[in-house]
Every structure is written in C-alpha cells, then in structure tokens.
A and B are shown apart, each in its own frame.
Chain A
Amino acid sequence: MTENIVTIRSLSKIYQQGEINVTALNNISVDIRSGEFLTLMGPSGSGKSTLLHIIAGVDRPTSGECRVQGIDVARLNESQLADWRNQNVGFVFQTFNLIPVLTAYENVELPLLLTRLSRKQRRHQVNTALDLVGLGDRTHHLPRQLSGGQEQRVAIARALVTSPSLVVADEPTGNLDSHSAQEVLGILQTLSKTAGKTVIMVTHDPKAAAFGSRSIHLEKGELTN
C-alpha cells in the first residue's frame, strides 16, 4: 500500500480583509498518496489555490495541520521553510514566471544556485531536466524566444531540477493553446506515472483534470466529494 505524502487534518484558512473575515478553507481533511496525480477543482474563490499554497509551504493555515512527508510545514520558520521548499517542492505557475533575462538553461539552473552542487553537477541536472521536457535543444533561448508551451515546459524543468518529491502546478495550462496544454499535461502525467512524483494540480478544466489519477472538488472552502 502506498504511503501518504500529504496529510491534512481540520485545516482552515481565514483571511482578514479589513474588519471582515473571509474563510478560504473550512475544516479540510484530506490525504494525498505518494506518486499520485491529484487535481484540485472548483470554481473561482473555492480555496483550491489556497490549499495548494499551504501544501507547498508558501502560505500558512489559520488552524489545523498540514503534514508533508511527516513534517508539519506550518511549524517551520521562514528560513527553514525556504530550504524545505527548495529541496521538496517544484512549482509550476499559470504564467510560467520565468526570469526574462535568463536563458532557458539559466532559468532551470536557478534553484540549484542554492545547493552545494558543483557547476558540472548542476549542468548535468539542468540538461537532464531540459531533456525530460523535450527542450534539450533550446537551452540558450531566452523566454521571449520560446512559445508559451515551451516556456511552460522550461518552468516544469525548473520545478524538477532539484528532484523534489512534490510538484505543485497552479493552472499550468491556463495560458496555453490546447496542443501545448496536452503536451504539458502529458509531461505532468509521466512524472507521476513513471518518475513517481506526486503532482498536485489546480485546474478549472475537466479535460485537464482527466489526466490526473484523482480529483477533489472544493466549493466555498469545503470539500464536496
């Protein structure tokens, strides 16, 4: 039986907007198995991105517990959390968020600057990651010289380069045409199926969700299935 990589119990997140409290997540409990390709679905404002951010350690819950690989990420301080993210989480964003002045190679290499790897070791990992997403021949291209789909594949390579156990993707196909979206989703699926990575993806699109191994739905901060 596959063990859980993420364990969430009674998780709530309340934002304070002026004098009004907005509940983004309300008493969520969910387990995510290692190697799973989980899709988070729901309408805008349902709390899916908030849940993703808490799992990835870029946001903190108001109450409850979120354990990733047994670590309660909310208890880590800012510096520990940064290290933890670097080693354990790969991020893929809707708008790619590549650094425009860096080449594809340099963008992928960026997270490795925080490690103690030698230049040679870094080169090996960057090239492996770029080959994995089929962009081994685009290493010296700047983001503006790439198509949207290629940019997102570079972003995936950047997410993978540190060999994280968890890849989180927030609407990764939201800015792509259907062909590029298929390619990106195919890569994420491969990561889960063959590389054993746990992929958690936020999406609105049922077709994109179909690539996942499991889907959970949120509405008004609560799980609906």
Chain B
Amino acid sequence: MTVGTFILKNALRNKRRATLSVLSVAVSLFLLVTLLVALRELTLPPEDIGAALRVVVRNKVSLANPLPARQRAIIERIPGVEAVSPFTWFGGSFKNEELTTFAQFAMDPSKLRLLFSEFKMPDDQYEAFQKDMRACIIGKLTAEKYHLKIGDHIMLASTIYPVTLEFKIAGIYSGTIDDRNMLFHHKYFDEATGELGTVGMWWVKARSAEDMPRITAAINQTFANTSAEVRAETERAFQLSFISMWGNIKLLVGAICTVVVFTLVLVSASTMSMAIRERFRELAVLKALGFRRRELFAFILAESFALAIGGALLGAGGAYLLFTYGNISKMTNGIFITFEVTPKILGTAALVAAGLGIVASLAPALSVARTSVVTGLKTLD
C-alpha cells in the first residue's frame, strides 16, 4: 500500500457521497465554464479578418435614425477610402416566424468582396447575385437551418417597412464570423420602399490601417453641423457599442459565477466536514500510531483535492469537449456561433477547483489538529 492508495481508499470509502460530491463540483464547474465562455462570447466577439480596415458610419443620434443616401459620394471622395456600401437593416420575418430570426441587410453587391474579403462563395454564385436585383445570398448556417438551397425563392415580411419582398437565393456563403446573415440589393429595397433616399449605415473600407484614424476623423468632420451628423468608428468600436447595450450583463453573470463558486465551497466544505467528522476516531488512532498533524492535514487536503479535481475534470473537461466538438449553433438555436473554451477559462476552472480543495479541507483539518488523541479516541463512531 502507498500513501496515495490510502488517500484514494479513504476518499472513496462512502462511494455514494463521493460520487455526489464529485457530481456537484462537476455540475457547478460546468456551469461556471459555460457562464464564463458565454460572457466572453458576448463581450468579446471574434474579429473578422478584414475588420481592421473597416469603418462603420451611423447616425450620431442613434442607430435607428437613417442617413441620407447622398452622403455616399462625399465619403467615397475622402482620400484613403477604397469602397463604400450602404447597409440597411430590413428586419424581415421568415415564413410564419414572429420575430426576425436572422439578420437581413440591403447593400451594394458590387462592393461585397472589397468590403468583406472573408466571404467565401463560388464566383458563379457571386456573379448571379450581382446580376439579379432580386437575388440574395444567405449564410451557410441559415441555409442549413431552413433547408434552403440555391434557386429557392423566399418571402420576407419586413417588421419595419410596410413591404414583403420575394428573393431568389443566388449564393450561399461561409467563412465569416457569423454565417447567418442575408444580403440583398439596396436598389431592390429602395424600389420596394418608394425611394426613401436613406440608408441605415455606411460601411467603409480603408486602403490601409494607417488611413483609418484619418478617414474616421474626416467622415465625422465632413458631416458635422449638417442635418445628419454621423458617428464614424472602427468596426471594433462599433461592436463594443453593441455590447454596451447589454447593460450590466457582465455584472449579472459575474454575480451568478460568484454564487456558483460560493455554493460550491459550502457544499464541498460540508461534505469534507462530514467525511472527516465520522472518521475522527480513526484519525486519532493514526495520530497515536505516529502520524503527525501535517501528515493528517496532507491526507485531508489530498482527499479534498481528489474530489475537487475529479469534479473539475468531469465538469470543465466535459464542457470543453461539448463546446469544442459539439454543434454549438444547433445547441443554442443559433444564438452562439462560436463558444470557445479558452485555456484561460480552463485555468480559471482549475484554480477554482484547487481553491475549493484547499478551502473545503481547512475546517476539518484544523479540527483534527486541535483534537488530542485522547479526545479523538473518546469520539463515538
């Protein structure tokens, strides 16, 4: 027998309790990892490859306020600007769904590949999209979700504009961070809505990263003190402004994580205390046989650690396997496209488990250290 065998045998002496303890740690750590990953995904969206060169221009008042279409020509003339495309949210509901289940934007197809080089689709599909004003392209995930294929016709009833439009699917793209969106001709939108002369936003591509600050400043300056003042910002800043709309979600998720960890500590400490309390007499015998306080503390700590790490392997490891190899888009009904369990999150879970092992063992270890052999031997089994 080794010391390790002895510790393991003690940890597993009450198999039901050990199993339940490991499962409680596993479930809690699974939840913790899930929350941390969700928080990361919500607050730190992955960046597009071309995001560093894109500027998003919106109405300074709010995103809901449109911009005049005439601004396009002015923006295009700003030195360093490579391409400009309108981007207008259509907000259409598909089939009988009440809400908009995937984003649809009206834009300029001729600028698509200039603006978004990461869009992957065959050339013939892209050409077909450009040629037909009523054509659209959809992301691979949406196509899979609704079993749509090239050549299919779909109807979308806008929840913003009083129009219902019919589109022909010309292409299915992939390779972006969110292969769910649908893009169609702004001309078709303008025609259907009666030439409103407005757009939702402008998406601008700069020639180089060095041009970005100057272009952003120039756009803001150009439309200052006009009837439609704009707010031009990098794509990254634009994404972060969306995140701020989540309000205090970070605080909320942080609070839930704290509660999870705190509950976990209480449950584990209680389990360890129970496990040690019922062995007080045995521990007193070990003391009598010559085991020192530090050795008994090491036994208790190791036992507590074994249960916590077992739970961590099951919970955090299970979360890693599920989120890495599972179809997260399907699991979350398309809410999350990626759900990356980063090494940092796994490290956090491991630290929580290690901390848990230590904290849960402190009270019983102190109690054992304080109790004399004679008192321990008098303890009833």
Q: Which residues of A contact B (CB under 8 A)?
A: 53, 56, 58-59, 78-79, 82-83, 85-87, 91, 93, 95, 97, 99-102, 105-106, 109-111, 113-114, 158, 162
Contacts and interface: CB of A to CB of B under 8 A. Distances in A.
B291 A114 contact: yes
A114 B290 contact: yes
Contacts of A59: 372-374
B1 A93 contact: no
A109 B372 CA distance: 23
Given A83-B292, A97-B281, 12 more contacts: A56-B288, A58-B288, A58-B377, A59-B373, A78-B293, A91-B285, A93-B285, A99-B285, A106-B6, A110-B286, A110-B289, A158-B289
B290 A78 contact: no
A99 B282 contact: yes
A113 B374 contact: no
Contacts of B374: 53, 58-59
Contact of B290 (A87, A93, A105, A106): A87
Interface of B is mostly: helix
B10 interface: yes
A91 B5 CA distance: 23
B374 to A, nearest CB: 5
B73 interface: no
Contacts of B281: 97
18 contacts: A56-B288, A58-B287, A58-B372, A58-B373, A58-B377, A59-B372, A59-B374, A78-B292, A85-B290, A87-B290, A101-B9, A102-B6, A105-B1, A113-B1, A113-B3, A113-B6, A114-B289, A162-B290
B131 interface: no
Contacts of B288: 56, 58, 85, 91
Contacts of A162: 290
A158 B289 CA distance: 9
Contacts of A93: 285, 377
B1 A86 contact: no
Nearest to A110: B289
Interface in B290-331: 290-293, 295
Nearest to B285: A97
Name the 8 nearest CB pairs between A and B, nearest first. Answer: A86-B290, A58-B373, A82-B292, A97-B285, A101-B13, A101-B9, A106-B1, A111-B289
A59 B371 CA distance: 12
B291 A82 contact: yes
Contacts of B9: 101-102
A165 to B, nearest CB: 14
B167 to A, nearest CB: 70
Contacts of B285: 91, 93, 97, 99
B109 to A, nearest CB: 72
B373 A111 contact: no
Contact of B292 (A53, A56, A79, A101): A79
A83 B295 CA distance: 12
Contact of B287 (A82, A102, A106): A82
A118 B180 CA distance: 66
A86 to B, nearest CB: 2
B290 A101 contact: no
For A106, A109, A114, the residue with the greatest tally of chain B CB atoms inside 10 Å of its CB is: A114
Given A53-B374, A93-B377, A102 B291 contact: no
Most buried by A among B5, B13, B285: B285
